[in-house]
Every structure is written in structure tokens, then in C-alpha cells.
Structure 1
Amino acid sequence: MQVFAKIISVIFHPLLVLTYMLVLFLLVNPYIFGVHNIAEPFGMQLILRVFLSSFFIPMVAVLMLRFTGLVQSLEMPDRQERIIPYIVTGIFYLWLFRNLLDNTTIPRLFTSFALGTTIALFLAFFINLFSKISAHAVGMGGIIGMLVLLMSYFPDYHTIAISFQDGSVLEISSTALLLFVLILAGLVGTSRLSLKAHEPMDLYGGYFIGFVGQMIALRFIM
């Protein structure tokens, strides 16, 4: 159970959320990015840029903090250890959002999601000064928030069609996708509790912050 919980925590690491959502957007509707499918050079380059900016570089920065002794563990069980990583990650996310905002080929909806993720990150940083909060829950709450926004404000996305390179199309109800993500969010939360990384209130607060971050971002971007 502990091994399974650690695997889930790694797969759904909060820094991977932006990359996962970009891949989903490109699979569902690559045309809003100006490409015909996700495998085109622009699509792959965009995924690489987002992955490097939102996961790889912040993770390298955290590893450097670990090697210099500023962080005692990569899991950072002490909320005080999370302060500097939150700041470093926030800087990279702000830089990424600014680049997405200036890029006219990036749909506003994904830019809104990137801003919502950044807002949630800084809200989590502020709350972390007083009480520990689950970054994993913040990430999952952000995905839930974006799916709810798609269903509420963009009726064309009530049915999501995922196109593959061989020409086949998989249609999924957005309601079914939301239920699937809710189950995943519960699985991630259960894994964090199983690892004794958080208390239930840390998870509830994280889900709420991730969700609210998307709502705030939509007001600014869309």
C-alpha cells in the first residue's frame, strides 16, 4: 500500500499538472493551437517548453536546495522547508504565464489555466506560512476547477472528442471525465494520507485553493 501510494504521489505530482492539461488540450482540440495533431513539431515543442518550465527546472532548483542543505528532504514534511521551493517555483510559473500570455498561438483557455495554477501556488505559499497544505491536492483541485469551467461556460465541451494520429476518435462525456478526475483526486488524497504526509484538513484546503485559483484566473483572462 505504501509503495502504491508513493507511485500515485509521483505520477500526480503537482508540478506535472500543467503538462498533463496541455496534453489533454492538444488531444481534444489541437486546432486551437494551430496544429492538426499533437505530434506536429509545434505541439511537441510546446509540451517540452511547458514541461521544462513547470516541472524540470523547478525540480532541479529543489534538488539544488536539497544538496546545499536548505531542504532536508525532497518530500519536505516540514512546512517551513517548503517556503523557498514555493517562491522559486512561483517565479518560474509567473515567467511561464507571461510567455504564454504574449504568445498569440496559445488559446486563452490554456493561458487561463496556467494563471489559475500560478494563483493557486501563491495562495498555497501564503497559507503554508501558517498551516501546512497539500500541494498535491492543490494540483488536483485545479484540474477539477478547469473541467467545471469547461462544462459551465463552454457548452461545446460537454462532449470531449480525442483524436488520434490514425484518424480514430474517442468521444468522452465531460461529466464522465469530471467523475474520473474526482476519483483520481480522491485516490491522490488517500495516498497522501496513507503516507502520513498530510492531515485531512490539509487536503480539503488544497482542493479548495486549486479550485478557487481557476475561478479567479477566468475572470482576468477570459
Structure 2
Amino acid sequence: MLKRNGFRPGISFLCSMDSRMVLDSDNELREKIDEQPRFQKVIATLLSYIFHPVFVPIYVIYFLLYIEPFLFYGTTEDGRLMVLLQAIVNYTFFPLISVLLLRGLKFIPSIKLKERKDRIIPFIICNIWYFWIWYVWRNLEGMPREMVVFSMGVFMASSIGLLMNIYIKVSMHGIALGTAVSFLCLLGFEYGQGMGIYIMIALLIAGLVSTARLLLSDHTAKEVYLGLIAGTLGLLIAQMVV
């Protein structure tokens, strides 16, 4: 039960010895953890950075190019490197540069995009890069269909996240991990049990990162779940339309 101290912006609600409820910029209650072991916070922050949304697609594509390259048998080393570089440019480099420019031009107060309204323009800009890489790969001779599905899934998931973000802050980490896990599950259905271990690892990572986002008080459980749902829906739509 919450002990009410007054319902005014900027006034906190006491929950327990180590957490409290605060009003964010959208006047929504959000749990904030006050006391947290330093080691736990460091691990949660590290996981959030390692599996940041701009890196997750690269991990998936690197996995398909070099760890389990069954989609790219016969592709030259230069060809694989070119695909990886294209992915890095469109999924990591351009989105990062775009956010830094937005911060430099004062369109957003922080590159961490803590508030829902701060994420609108970055969502739109990233969607442009995601659409472009899908369009290029769709028309690239020899590109496996699964890669086209994945790139379309990233674009659709981000688009769904943009629409959700109109009403509620959605976890971008959840969107990225939901897309990645769903894609690996799709490969598992198509190519058999050899993908089982990778799917389990992906599910473990998704669980750890989602927990990290909650521990850092960056999201509520609802926002994380919505992100995972958006990623899954985006990939399912891509599988049906590509």
C-alpha cells in the first residue's frame, strides 16, 4: 500500500525503504529505486550499454555472417564484410550521429532519451535508416530472404514503437531484443534444432537486459513488455509480407 504524502507534481510517494513512486514529465507514476548495491547498478548499466538497440542488430547479423553462416555459404569474405559494414553504418553509425546532432542542436535534452517526448524525432530518423537498408538489401542480388525479413522486421518494429510512443514510453531495448529473439526463433522453425542453444542464450540475454532496465528505473514492467511485443509483432509482420 502506498502512503500518500500529497498529490502534486514533484512530490514523491513512499513505497518502501528502498523505492518510491515519482511523477514523470507525462504525469505518470514511475517507481524509482533509491538504494541499490553499487555492483548491481554497474552490471545493469553495463548490460544496457552492451545490448543497446543500436548494437543488437549488428550482433544478429554478425552471428549469421561468421558464427552460423548457413545463409551465406558460397559468399566471399569481402562479400560478408560488405554486408557487415552496411549494417554497421545504417543500424549503428547513422542513428548515433543523428542523436548526437539532435542533442547538439538542442532538439533533445539528453542522448539518453529518458522522456517519452524526447524519443519521437529519434524514432522517425532511425526509421529512415532502417527503411533504407531494407530497401537496399531487398534489391541486392544474392541476399538471403531471411536477411531481408530481419531488416524489414527491424523497420516494422521501430514503426510500431513510434506509434506506441505517442501514448506511452516504450522500451527501445525491449523492441530490439524482441525483434532479435523472434528472428532466431523463426530460424529455429525453418532450420531445425541446431538453433536451440542460440535461442536459449538470446532469451537469457533478453531477460537480463529487461531486468537491468527495471533496476535502473528507466522503465516500468509494462513499458518493457510493450517493447518486447512491438519487436515480436514487427518480425511477424515482416515474415508475412516479405
- Please confirm whether the aligned pair reaches a TM-score higher than 0.5, indicating the same fold: yes
- What amino acid is aligned across from residue 46 of structure 2 in structure 1? I
Measure the CA separation in 1 of the matches of 2:239 and 2:71: 21
Q: Contact 1:138/1:206 (CA < 8 Å) preserved in 2?
A: yes
TM-score, length basis structure 1:
0.87
Deviation at 1:178, TM superposition (A): 1.3
- What amino acid is aligned across from residue 5 of structure 1 in structure 2? A
Deviation at 1:133, TM superposition (A): 0.5
More deviation, 99-108/175-184: 175-184
- What amino acid is aligned across from residue 96 of structure 1 in structure 2? I
- What amino acid is aligned across from residue 42 of structure 2 in structure 1? V
**In angstroms, what is the RMSD of aligned CA positions?**
1.3
- What amino acid is aligned across from residue 57 of structure 1 in structure 2? F
The residue aligned with 2:69 is 29
The residue aligned with 1:98 is 135
Q: Which has the larger radius of gyration?
A: 2
Task: Describe the superposition over 1:62-104 as per-residue Cα deviations: whole angstroms up to 9, x where unpaired.
Answer: 0000111111111111110100000000011101110010101
Gaps of 5+ in 2: 1-39
Q: Contact 1:34/1:105 (CA < 8 Å) preserved in 2?
A: no
Residue identity (%): 29
Deviation at 1:157, TM superposition (A): 3.8
- What amino acid is aligned across from residue 4 of structure 1 in structure 2? I
Larger RCO: 1 or 2 (CA < 8 Å, sep 6+)? 1
The residue aligned with 1:158 is 193
Query: Does residue 5 of structure 1 match 2:44?
Result: yes
Higher-helix-fraction structure: 1
Instruction: Report the 3-state secondary structure (helix = DSSP H, G, I; strand = E; otherwise coil) of the residue aligned with 2:72.
Output: helix
Residue among 125, 128, 140 paired with 2:165: 128
Task: Describe the superposition over 1:149-182 as per-residue Cα deviations: whole angstroms up to 9, x where unpaired.
Answer: 1222x1x3421xxxxxxxxxxxxxx222211111
Gaps of 5+ in 1: 160-173
Counterparts of 1:23-102 in structure 2, within 5 Å, are 23-27=62-66, 28-29=68-69, 32=72, 34-35=74-75, 40-102=77-139
Deviation at 1:31, TM superposition (A): 5.7
Deviation at 1:34, TM superposition (A): 3.8
